[in-house]
Structure 1
Amino acid sequence: MNRIKQLFLEKKNILSIYYTAGYPNTDDTIKIAEALEKSGADMLEIGFPYSDPVADGPVIQASSKQSLDQGMTLNLLFEQLKELRKNIRIPVLLMGYVNPVLQFGVENFCKACAEVGVDGCIVPDLPMVEYEEFYKGYFEEHNLSNVFLITPQTADERIHKIDGLTNGFIYLLSSSATTGKSLEVGNTTETYFGRIKNMNLKNPTMIGFGISDKQTFDKACVYANGAIIGTAFVKAIENGNIEESVSDFMKKFKS
């Protein structure tokens, strides 16, 4: 069974951490993954940087730029990920924009993911119709979960369609803003989260965008199977002291 599916069968209140490959230093990708698993992360999302990240806030944009300036590419990332499964047991996804994937070749990308032990992908700007018509077979052949995103504006019909195409979890954006905005669960957000919860989807959901601390994480877990933290973690490791920074950051969620 895919590690992602296994995780959701075994655990509630799942904590997934996003970070940018090759940041703060090019060779930190595996080091950060190992430190996160050691500190109690349940799942990892490794971002492959792109020069025009339209949904990313300033912190993740800056990390992507630094990573690219230091020479990070998809080819280099897959080289680094050959070491992934030596010590990492938790599910790992790659997250990024469709342009680098198309340049790499979607079939080659899926094959490379499977070879290094990646369990799934989040490609927010990959159109659902194109995925279903052209690429779904590659993902299934290589046992990869393709994760779709929904927002407060996503219609019920589309959500059910996404649920039918999903074989891992659904990424529930807390808002339509870019990453890094603080999660505020007001009446509108609560109605949105409640609407999704009451749809009784067959797939689990994870809330992302605006989760930055134990309080916002716990709020998100009321409405979903867990939550994803990105910007706050990327900020936490910017000084380059990986083990200490990861340990200190993760302690906040274990109290």
Structure 2
Amino acid sequence: MTRIADTFRRLQETGEKAFMPFLTAGDPNLAITEEVIVELDKIGADIIEIGIPYSDPLADGPTIQAGSLRSLSSGTRMPDVFELVRRVRPKVRASLVLFTYANPVFQWGVHDFFQTAKEVGANGVIIPDLPLEESEEALAAGLATGVDLIPLVAPTSQERIAKIVAQGQGFIYCVAALGVTGVRENLDADLSSYVASVKKHTALPVAVGFGVGKPEHAAIIGQFADGVVVGSAIVKKTAAIADALQAGDAALVEATKQDLVQFAASLKAPLYPNKQEA
């Protein structure tokens, strides 16, 4: 059983749902990313997605694109992200998932990328622009290393859902909204039906992301999905940390970090009903 599978097994035993925050590694710098990962683990994040900054992040909206630019501008590169994971792995209970794009993985070497991910302590990989037809090598590398290759399915891929999830590892990532990442005011009214259609084709846990940015969103999704991914809403908070850092205000840097953690806790709370009742 992989670490991600064990995470969902533990949550299912208590009726809880996975809280899955996303951070771009190195935004605004690697030291702060490491601190925030540890704090997110303390407030109960179950799976933490760590974005590898990339100059052409096609699946990401302006908020996460800006986070990648801040990270790249600070000098963060893929080896730095691997070392970040190596440092933070012993400090956290949460599963760690790398979010990257196909080109950097192929440039690194697919098997070598997954092998390095395993060696540093990553538990999964998400490659949003890797089509099913070109995923055979990555799927094999995931199976060989025990690092799950987590597939994405979108509302437009209904005819392909069965094929995509049949190859799934770890969990299925359901894209909640068409287009790129970014906070939406409202969730799609058909989201629960869409998730149900995915669940018909897989026994893997199903998580929902893209556009999730409020505790109310998490509460709704938690009623029919196994996990909730929050990205842009958290990266907006790292942007505030970056502004405080640029201003040279140490007290404000600490305050903005705490604001991020408190916001994350508010998103986590609806997914842990048993702890609320205790």
Q: Normalised by the size of structure 2, how large is the TM-score?
A: 0.85
Matched with 1:167 is: 169
The count of aligned residue pairs is 252
More off after superposition, 177-186 vs 228-237: 177-186
Matched with 1:204 is: 205
The question of 1:150 aligning with 2:157 is answered no
**Aligned with 2:174: secondary structure?**
strand
Segments of 4+ in structure 1 off by > 3 A?
A: 185-191
Q: Deviations over 1:120-176 (max 9, x none)?
A: 0000111212222x23222111101111111111124x2122222112100000111
Structure 1 residue 233: Cα displacement:
0.7
Q: Residues 120 and 183 from structure 1, CA distance in 2 versus in 1: closer, same or farther, beyond 3 angstroms?
A: farther
Structure 1 residue 224: Cα displacement:
0.9
Query: Do the aligned residues in 2 keep the contact of 1:163 with 1:202 (CA within 8 Å)?
Result: no
Q: Residues 123 and 183 from structure 1, CA distance in 2 versus in 1: closer, same or farther, beyond 3 angstroms?
A: farther
Matched with 1:95 is: 99
Matched with 2:259 is: 245
Structure 1 residue 186: Cα displacement:
4.5
**Aligned with 1:155: secondary structure?**
helix
Matched with 1:219 is: 220
Gaps of 5+ in 2: 242-252, 270-275
Q: Distance in 2 between matches of 1:247 and 1:70?
A: 23
Gaps of 5+ in 1: none
AA matched with 2:146: N
Query: Do the aligned residues in 2 keep the contact of 1:208 with 1:228 (CA within 8 Å)?
Result: yes
The question of 1:56 aligning with 2:60 is answered yes
Q: Return the structure number with greater helix share.
A: 2
Q: Normalised by the size of structure 1, how large is the TM-score?
A: 0.92
**Aligned with 1:238: secondary structure?**
helix
Q: Distance in 2 between matches of 1:147 and 1:105?
A: 18
Matched with 2:10 is: 10
Matched with 1:113 is: 117
Query: Do the aligned residues in 2 keep the contact of 1:152 with 1:174 (CA within 8 Å)?
Result: yes
Structure 1 residue 59: Cα displacement:
0.8
Report % sequence identity: 33
Q: Distance in 2 between matches of 1:218 and 1:57?
A: 24
Matched with 1:179 is: 181
